[in-house]
Amino acid sequence: MADYKVPMRDIQFNLFELFDYEQHWQSIPKFAETTPELAGAILDEGAKFFENVTAPLNQSGDKEGCIWNEGVVTTPKGFKEAYEQYVQAGWPSMSHNVEHGGQGLPPSLGQIVTEMSGTANWSWSMYPGLSHGAMNTVAEHGTEEQKEKYLTKMTSGEWTGTMCLTESHCGTDLGMLRTKAEPQADGSYAISGTKIFISSGDHDMTENIVHIVLARLPDAPPGTKGISLFIVPKMNLADDGSVADHNGVSCGSIEHKMGIHGNSTCVMNFDSAKGFLIGPPNRGLNCMFTFMNTARLGTAMQGVAHAEMGFQHSLEYARDRLQMRSLSGPKNPNGPADPIIVHPDVRRMLLTQKSFAEGGRMLMSYCAKLVDLIESDDDEVAKEADAKLAFLTPIAKAFLTEVGFESANHGVQCFGGHGFISEWGAEQNVRDARISMLYEGTTGIQALDLLGRKVLMTQGEIMKPLTEEIHKFCQANEANPLVSQLVDATKLWSDMTMKVGMAAMENPEEVGAASVDYLMLSGYVTLAYFWALAAQKAQDTIDAGTGDLAFYQAKIQTAQFYFGRILPRTAGLAQTMVSGADNLMAMDVDSFAF
């Protein structure tokens, strides 16, 4: 079975037909030289690298895992060599600023490379992937000296980066963290504490790892208002910026995990390690969100990756596996049975995977345009893009990882008993996907952010740019047979927003009680918009008599499946989210015992 094939035709459809990236890049001066030809050449090279170099290491890396020995972590065979090729080819620097050695290409182009990398081998992709958030944090909040010392090396890929937030007694509630930062005479800080669940926290692929660490100053106020952010390198630097002696940073152990075995998830100990304040004192949480927002979009892409991998493997297997006869008559009369792809229930699972993989790719392509636009010279354009992205980020992160996991599970089901054993890779896809719903804030946390902080605190104003865009599309395409359903779904979304908001005015617990259902409904409606958009573009192309007829017909048919089989889930979610908090909160805590 093939490891992974980049869905290049679908990527090109999103870029140059659905979202008109050629015009988009030309509208932003710093990206104006990014042509379709240049993008195509870069993506073709990326496809070759990830299909041929990292994808073949996916299953072997899972079986071998990382090895910890007296504080030293060794990655699976082939990982280090693949990373060296990745750096030599210039992939880490692609979408970063030229001032620090980057190539200055659009972030949106880098996001497509991230999808390729992640689908090919999610465990491997995390080593360079975690660096992007660290780089963005240093670029946004670091001093010029810090940028020169650390950003240049991370941009080239010579060094990697991490974010060290979580401690054993606090996960999302970072106001409880205990790691200390003691001021030193030379202007540095002695960082002491233990962080857990640090992805790529230690490894053998680079000579230095730059940790971005949350800690408390001695005079810090309690809670989240007393958190500062620090750069803490694994290796101290000499005056000329070269690697010197080992800092007081060590890996205490690596976690034994359900999945992503090829990536080291570390317990990191900081023993009076030399660190440097980044950003203002006691404003670390604010600075950290530069990293977190990058990481949340990266995790949203993980959902797309697992949906795509589940679909590719399931499709190949379903075409070959012979089981039973079609109820409408033999489809493979010369064989002992028909391929399972002829059976309606297998089609249901394949189309669910396809609609989530391709729909998720559309959502991420849309978000990527907003990321580009934040760098526009037009302040108003940048501000509007930032606001829309703030609204869509929790939806993308939580919804796409939930449906990505669902798609991975469908993969096991398509394989039947073979899906439950390791040789086919379907069970690994499930195990690797499961963490995505926990990374960078669980689905519940993202839902509270969306409904409580984003929607209700703005009285729904944050939704309007997207819902108005949907309304304009519907008005312009009334003849599209999907539009009436999209209109109804968008109205349901608005109605539920108002109903939950009114209920929350009486009882604040209604927000938490409704939030996950609300987020999932938001995701289904958002994807419905993109599927309607894709179906319209496909129909227009067919009507013009151009392009690959089969490709565009498949887009329309997948959209019809989504509207007929997936979008109706919103009706049930609407009922559950307004059923009230009482059916969750009425039971006394002691009554849970049995």
Active site residues: 440
Pairwise CA distance, residues 27 & 31, whole Å: 8
Neighbours of 572 (CB within 10 A): 12
Pairwise CA distance, residues 198 & 249, whole Å: 13
Q: Which residues pair with 161 in a beta bridge?
A: 210
Pairwise CA distance, residues 205 & 159, whole Å: 9
Q: At 38, is the secondary structure helix, strand, or coil?
A: helix
Q: CB within 8 A of 490, min separation 6: which ones?
A: 467, 470, 471, 474, 525, 529
Pairwise CA distance, residues 445 & 463, whole Å: 19
Bin 249: left if φ > 0, else alpha if -120 < ψ < 50, else beta.
beta
* Tokens at 218, concatenated: 């001695």
Pairwise CA distance, residues 168 & 46, whole Å: 38
* Residue in 35, 52, 40 with CA at minimum distance from that of residue 11: 40
C-alpha distances out from residue 566 to 160, 488, 489, 561, 581, Å: 40, 15, 12, 7, 26
Pairwise CA distance, residues 286 & 278, whole Å: 11
DSSP annotation string for 248-280: SEEEEEE---SS-TTS-EEEEEEEEEEEEE-SS
* Residue in 227, 232, 196 with CA at minimum distance from that of residue 214: 227
Pairwise CA distance, residues 113 & 119, whole Å: 10
Count Cα neighbours of 232 within 13 Å in the Cβ-side half-sphere.
Answer: 34
Q: At 244, is the secondary structure helix, strand, or coil?
A: strand
Pairwise CA distance, residues 180 & 151, whole Å: 25
Pairwise CA distance, residues 446 & 295, whole Å: 13
Pairwise CA distance, residues 485 & 494, whole Å: 14
Neighbours of 543 (CB within 10 A): 9
Cβ–Cβ < 8 Å for 274, 232: yes
Q: What is the distance of C-alpha 266 from the center of its chain?
A: 21
Pairwise CA distance, residues 406 & 303, whole Å: 10
